[in-house]
Structure 1
Amino acid sequence: MARFKYQGRAKSGKKSGIVTAASKREAVVQLRDKGIKVLEISEIPETLLTKELTLGNPVKLHDFVIYLRQFATLIRAGISIVEATSILAEQTESKSLKRALLLVEQDLREGTPLSTAAAKHKKIFSSMFVNMIRAGEAGGNMDETLEKLAVHFEKQHFTKQKIVSALAYPVAVAIIAIGVVIFLLVSVVPTFVDMFKDFGGELPAITKFVLNASSFMQKFWWLVVLFMVACFVAIILIRNNKSTKYYLDYFLLKMPIFGKMLQKAALARMTRTLSSLFASSVPILQALSIVESIVENEVIAKVIVKSRHSLEQGRSLTEPMKEHWVFPPLITQMIAIGEQTGALDSMLAKVADFYEREVESATDRLKSLIEPLMIVLLAGLVGTIVTSIMIPMFDIFQHVG
């Protein structure tokens, strides 16, 4: 929502202030409803203090799925697209989606098609959504199109949640382990330093290592913080640059244990998206262009680009896929059968179902494997620090005895 500064006149006299609305026209209507005749109004520019900051997609996938489900239900009930958009703008809990829907509603009331109005908000409505809505408008089956979109994003949300749940545990344990180690090195180990100095004997190598690490953490803790911040910033910069993101995605796909799971998730997303687009009669070249931009994996995206060029030159869609390790024979064979039989959308849907089940079972296996490994890792780190302190303590007790 934008903020507008206004000057106006009411029955009680001159009025001025700030009003929040989706557009200048809506702001004027709001003030008019309050009995204020607007004399002058201007939008207040956003600053870092007033701008709503978001990371990644501003609308959660869960909120978007709910919006699609409700939209399909309202359209099926005979409510117009304009009124349905107005109702959903009021109901949604997502501020970003609410703001976009209010602007879309305004365009709809001016006679703009939904696909054109949605295309103005690329951060909210993906190119896949826009093109499937455009196909639904042309075919006159908007409720079916919205239902297909809802099913697509629900499956995508389910797969994403499985990946997140599989990675959440090791990340959480790793953070706890780092916190515990830092606490021990900064708060506990220094209390034994003077005791070991008074002892005067030769300390074990493991004890020297832990004491040196403790001394470093106390003196140069800011370097550790700076390093962590630098790593975080570097990852963001790498992900935002297509050329460097390719190497990051390549590395992630080649990782032991996690790589296969991430590969299956990316392939499930790609095949599900293509299947949904083909089922909505989106032209194949346009569908491939859409998938390139939303697959979220540059390794797969580059192969899709080659596949599109292959089609443009009159060759098969699967030729570049067969030459790349990221595409297993199952995908290339199923796509080839789909091309020959004219049932490419159903073949891709079957492949997507297969890989979504594979991701589900892989994440379950991964969680059962990683939980004990992370516990052993945490116990090993803490045990190493405790052991480094206990060994010289036993020597001191023996010396005193």
Structure 2
Amino acid sequence: MPSFRYTGRDLHGARVNGAVEGISADAVASELLARQITPLTIEAESAQDSGADAFAVLRDKLRRKRVDLDELIIFSRQMYSLNKAGVPIIRAIGGLAESNRNLYFRGILQDVRASLESGQSMAVALNAHPKVFNNLFVSMVSVGENTGQLDQAFKQLSAYLELERETRKRIKQATRYPIFVLVAMGVALAVINLLVIPAFAKVFAQFHAQLPLPTRVLIGTSSFMREWWWLLLLGIVGGLYGFFKWIETDAGALKWDRIKLRLPIVGGIFERIALARFTRTFAMMYRAGVPLLQTLSINSASVGNRHIGEAILAIRESVERGEALTRSAHNSGLFTPLVLQMMAVGEETGALDDLFVEVADFYEQEVDYDLKQLADAIEPILIVAMGAMVLVLALGVFLPMWELGSAAQGRG
């Protein structure tokens, strides 16, 4: 975070000066005003003025520059409590900034406070930091400001973010065992190819006998790994780098999200997670009074899957042309007949938000069940893979032993 030198006057009119860190000059001015110091000049420190500039740059690069989901949940809860208690919004943001341990988040909140003091609305101030506050967050705050229910907007946001956190936690728990097994298999293969097989190869070479095909394959693979390990490592790192760069592009992200939905076993889980997120967010925003077309537009970017997001945009275009929401959803092919019936009832009765909550609950129950069954579904595949690995190793090691033993008995 950059450092600024300032001069100002305190409450008694005495001239004061010093240095303070901040995300911008406006944020520093806001910080000084909170200390009851009226700033006269604020200048960014140059590398020569700052002294240990190299260390400052290194410290800034190593400092965490992101806001976790847990921190957003705590922020939303605190904003709800402070707004409900009648604390002025500028004072609330300032207090949360001063008490925040995440220096990156603190700087953002200081900048938000400076924007509020300059006359901007809360939604506009938050929208200046899209990496932390997405369109969904900003839209909910905007509706809360316009309706005079900002506290309820933060309450709904905290509840939504808590559900998102629980979904991520369940996904991590379900994938922990398969990932552990795959890593263990990779380590075992590396140890066998680099240490075990070379030892057996030295023994077999002493007999100068024709080795079976599985043994020759194992020895050849081991020799290649020991001689060209750096090339394998370079290929893996380069492949991963290229893959992550590819999915950062719009075309790559869309293609990868489409592929994820077609993956065996987990593809359906990815789809239901995205649909649960869409229906839950739709219900929250529609209930808060966000217009239908705007709700669909924001949801298309918040479901976490570009392919499904494009389908939601297609639904929005159909609704904009005058078609009913249920019919547009049916044409998208995303939803099951049961869910479409629930949507139709909600649209006919005017309780669309309530029915979308029911649909979200339905999808989340499906996701919860699928995640619990994920380990059971993957376990047979892992067992077969481990069995095949053991079989290949057994054939490669023991076949030549049997043949050499038989040959020795025949000579005896």
Aligned equivalents of 1:54 and 1:246: distance in 2?
A: 32
Q: CA deviation at 1:305?
A: 1.1
1:238 counterpart residue number: 246
Residue 225 of structure 1 pairs with residue 233 of structure 2:
yes
Shift in CA distance, 70/397, structure 1 to aligned 2, threshold 3 Å: farther
1:355 counterpart residue number: 363
Number of equivalent positions: 395
Aligned equivalents of 1:78 and 1:16: distance in 2?
A: 35
Q: How does 1:287-298 map to 2 (within 5 A)?
A: 287-298=295-306
1:42 counterpart residue number: 44
Aligned equivalents of 1:153 and 1:34: distance in 2?
A: 36
Counterpart secondary structure, 1:199? coil
Counterpart secondary structure, 2:228? helix
Shift in CA distance, 53/287, structure 1 to aligned 2, threshold 3 Å: farther
Aligned equivalents of 2:374 and 2:150: distance in 1?
A: 40
Deviations 1:49-105 (CA, angstroms, capped at 9, x unpaired): 5654799x9322222112212221222222222222223223444443322212112
Q: How does 1:320-335 map to 2 (within 5 A)?
A: 320-335=328-343
1:194 counterpart residue number: 202
Deviations 1:195-251 (CA, angstroms, capped at 9, x unpaired): 111122222221111111101111221222122223322332232222222221121
194-203 or 321-330, larger mean C-alpha shift: 321-330
Counterpart secondary structure, 2:325? coil
Aligned equivalents of 1:295 and 1:53: distance in 2?
A: 31
1:22 counterpart residue number: 23
Deviations 1:157-210 (CA, angstroms, capped at 9, x unpaired): 211221232223222321221122112111221122221111222222211111
Name which of 120, 130, 139 aligns with 2:128. Answer: 120
Deviations 1:97-131 (CA, angstroms, capped at 9, x unpaired): 32221211222233322111101000000111111
Structure 1, unpaired ranges of 5+: 10-14
1:4 counterpart residue number: 3
- Are 1:162 and 1:359, in contact at CA under 8 Å, matched by a contact in 2? no
Structure 2, unpaired ranges of 5+: 9-15, 48-52
Root-mean-square deviation (CA), in Å?
Answer: 3.3
Counterpart secondary structure, 2:310? helix
- Are 1:169 and 1:371, in contact at CA under 8 Å, matched by a contact in 2? no
Aligned equivalents of 2:248 and 2:167: distance in 1?
A: 23
Counterpart secondary structure, 1:41? strand
Aligned equivalents of 1:17 and 1:230: distance in 2?
A: 48
1:12 counterpart residue number: none
Q: How does 1:243-254 map to 2 (within 5 A)?
A: 243-254=251-262
1:273 counterpart residue number: 281
Aligned equivalents of 2:150 and 2:6: distance in 1?
A: 43
TM-score by length of 1: 0.87
Shift in CA distance, 381/19, structure 1 to aligned 2, threshold 3 Å: farther
- Are 2:5 and 2:44, in contact at CA under 8 Å, matched by a contact in 1? yes
Aligned equivalents of 1:185 and 1:27: distance in 2?
A: 59
Residue 160 of structure 1 pairs with residue 168 of structure 2:
yes
Aligned equivalents of 1:260 and 1:387: distance in 2?
A: 38
Q: CA deviation at 1:27?
A: 4.2
Partner amino acid for 1:41?
Answer: E
Aligned equivalents of 1:372 and 1:19: distance in 2?
A: 59
Counterpart secondary structure, 1:203? coil
Residue 180 of structure 1 pairs with residue 188 of structure 2:
yes
Partner amino acid for 2:256?
Answer: L
1:381 counterpart residue number: 389
Q: CA deviation at 1:146?
A: 1.0
Identity of aligned residues (%): 30
1:214 counterpart residue number: 222
Aligned equivalents of 1:331 and 1:249: distance in 2?
A: 23
TM-score by length of 2: 0.85
- Are 2:27 and 2:107, in contact at CA under 8 Å, matched by a contact in 1? no
Partner amino acid for 2:236?
Answer: M
Aligned equivalents of 2:244 and 2:95: distance in 1?
A: 37
Residue 76 of structure 1 pairs with residue 74 of structure 2:
no
336-345 or 142-151, larger mean C-alpha shift: 336-345
- Are 1:4 and 1:24, in contact at CA under 8 Å, matched by a contact in 2? no
Counterpart secondary structure, 1:352? helix
126-135 or 379-388, larger mean C-alpha shift: 379-388
128-137 or 380-389, larger mean C-alpha shift: 380-389
Shift in CA distance, 382/54, structure 1 to aligned 2, threshold 3 Å: farther
Q: CA deviation at 1:356?
A: 0.8
